[in-house]
Structure 1
Amino acid sequence: MRASHRRMQPGRDTGNDGMLAILETVSTVARSGPGRWVLFPAAEQSVREFHGLTFRPTVLGLQVAATGCTVDPRLGRYTHSTLAGLSEALGVELFPFGRTDSDALLAVDEQARLFSVDHGGSWLLGASPAEGITALLQGQRPERVAEEKREWLLPPMGEEDTVADAVKTAMVLVFILDRHSVLRTDILRLHVREKTGFGREPLDLEYPLRDGALEDVTLRVITELRARLQAAGFEALELDITLAAPQARIDEASASAEPATPRVDCALFAANGDPRVLRVELAAPAGRLAFEQGNVAAAQEEIDKYTESRR
């Protein structure tokens, strides 16, 4: 272990060798589908410091089996599709860093965090390449990057029926998440079904939100939805509302001056009858790494306050 640590020297610069490996990686086009690597400062600094080093563990492992790694971005230059999902979940660019002895892919993000991706999923190894490599060599248990959810049960607004309450609440969420740059909602997707689970055919509806002020869209959605439900004869119903973002959300965020935001999805579930139910759910593929990020955490705090204001 000590031999490995002596090779991790802050400020080490491999110069032309490191830059050549970086340029070869950046110039590699995905074998299938679109995809190019984006070089960012943390990636360049990390690769130039560690490129060409091979680390071997000298212990069995503290919590999991210890493993070594080789730092060379070219070992992952054809992994565009492999890293695409993790990049979207985190809301940041990733750059290949190397591979472990067990052939897991290593990648560094814009914050210089070191991740690995293998057949078992995606993992955060450390807050820096040095910390991540040390974790591999010591057999420290990595943190799985996996979806987590946050839920809020909202008391119903007594003066509103279920349809109006659900739609108005959805619009509040649209405003909160947009204000904190967490989710830019373009479309409300509604799914309505009989509460009993059988009977009338479910309704699937979409309402674009960019065609006017939120207040006008809210009134239009409520009016049209009530008319559709009445025409279909719905009485006891369950309603799902999903806040849908444009497909290019990540690309647009990367090209903008706004801070990177991890992917967060939002949905609302409502049911009429007794008791009335109104539940809000945020889901983040990156789990804790998303929910603890600054603007996402701020949005959750505002949803907390909104929930309390309804009590």
Structure 2
Amino acid sequence: MSTIGTDALRTAGWRPGRDAGDDALPGMLTAVSTVSPHGGQAWELFPAAERALREFHGLTIAPVTPGTDVAATGCAIDPRAARFAPRTAGSFARAIGQRLFPFGRTEADTLLFLDEKGRLFAVDHGGWWLLGESAEAGLTALLEGRAPRRIAPRSHHWQLARLPAEDELTDLVRTAMVPVYVLHRHGLVTARAARFRIIGLRGHGPVRLDEAFPLAPGSLDDSAVLLLKGVRQALDPIPLASAETSIELCNAAVGKSPRAGIGCSISTGRQGDQGIGIRLTADTKTVLESGAELADATAELEAYASRRVVRAAPVS
């Protein structure tokens, strides 16, 4: 906690161990009694929210600096100020697997919410933002104008040039070993199998093959050799010409889906694409829980793709 943030909180009336006591109850009770658009209770109070509201309720906090990364913003702590957004909060709560409770509103009319872990979030026209791992840390970030982290699903797509020394199937399999290594090294996916799919007419025709092949333990080169052998046996006599061929990394027993939250596929022959494509996706919960690991893995794959790029592909 920086001195600037602490001073701003103290100026507003906060101190370590503060407890607003009964003064915090009306706001919490009003929020709890709010009816959702579908009927029933809109909000459910949980311990982390109650603790934070008892500590900060009733404070109107003003920034004391222009802002480090973005404009510093003041706020008022009162759950009643954010209680009429249960639908918006409910969708995000389901995406991250945590209940939310209203916390307050900034002077820019951005709504503030707490989750069951005590993390402070903000929602505005740009989406959902993580302000801090605690109410204190989040409020300090607002007051100091430190950039929040956007929490939303991610999709990254890289288009790679073919390796001239390899046939299409060998190139596809060896390319797939790169995300296998990168995602494992960053603790995101431990691939136990690769789901191999061939779809005719460049992805718009019949499915010619859809089978999962186990990845052998040991070196990536050994895994690639054994995977190639198994795939070639399964392909005979299926032609690859004019077909989309893809490998999807699996994180469990053969035939199971990839790890929930992370998806990675490597493909070639897709209509409108050249070379080999790598697509990495992450859902909202994974972006929140694995932010640093996901960013590092994405950067590593980006560096690899830049050495084999055909053309820039949009990233969302």
Please tell me the TM-score bracket, short chain as reference.
Answer: 0.5 to 0.7
Q: CA separation in 2, counterparts of 1:124 and 1:109?
A: 11
SS at match of 2:27: helix
Instruction: Verify the 8 A CA contact 1:108 1:129 in the aligned structure 2.
Output: yes
> What amino acid is the match of 2:77?
V
What is the deviation of 1:18? Answer: 2.4
1:290 matched to which residue of 2? 289
3-state secondary structure, aligned to 1:37: coil
State the Cα deviation string for residues 52-76 of structure 1 (Å, max 9, x = none): 2111223332332221111112222
Match for 1:121: what amino acid? G
The alignment covers a number of residue pairs equal to 277
Q: Deviation string for 1:75-130 (max 9, x for gaps)? A: 22232232244334433332221111111111112222211111122222122111
Match among 192, 200, 205 for residue 202 of structure 1 = 205
Q: Give matches, 1:196-235, under 5 Å.
A: 201-203=204-206, 235=241
Superposed CA offset, 1:286-306 (max 9, x none): 475333489x89x99xxxxxx
Superposition map of 1:9-88 within 5 A: 9-32=15-38, 36-88=42-94
Distance 1:53 1:123, change over 3 A: same
Q: Is it true that 1:101 corresponds to 2:107 in the alignment?
A: yes
Q: 2:267 aligns with which of 265, 269, 279?
A: 269
Q: 1:2 to 1:51 in 2, by over 3 A?
A: closer
CA distance in 2, matches of 1:271, 1:35: 51
**Which residue of the other structure, out of 108, 123, 127, is the alignment partner of 1:117?**
123
1:192 aligns with 2:178: no
Q: Counterpart amino acid of 1:39? A: L
1:192 counterpart letter in structure 2: I
Aligned to 2:309: none
SS in 1 for 2:136: helix
1:96–1:106 Cα contact (<8 Å) kept: yes
- 1:268, 1:149 → 2: CA distance? 12
- Which whole-Å CA distance do the structure 1 matches of 2:245 and 2:17 have between them? 57
CA deviation profile, 1:182-236 (whole Å, cap 9, x unmatched): 89xxxx89683534xxxx94347998x9xxxxxxxxxxxx9xx979x77xxx623
RMSD: 5.6
| Equivalent residues of 1:4, 1:55 under 8 A apart | no
Match of 2:254 in 1: none
2:131, 2:137 within 8 Å by CA — same for their partners in 1?
yes
TM-score of the superposition, structure 1-length normalised?
0.58
C-alpha deviations, 1:105-163, integer Å up to 9, x for none? 11112222211111122222122111211221222222222426598x9xx9xxxx989
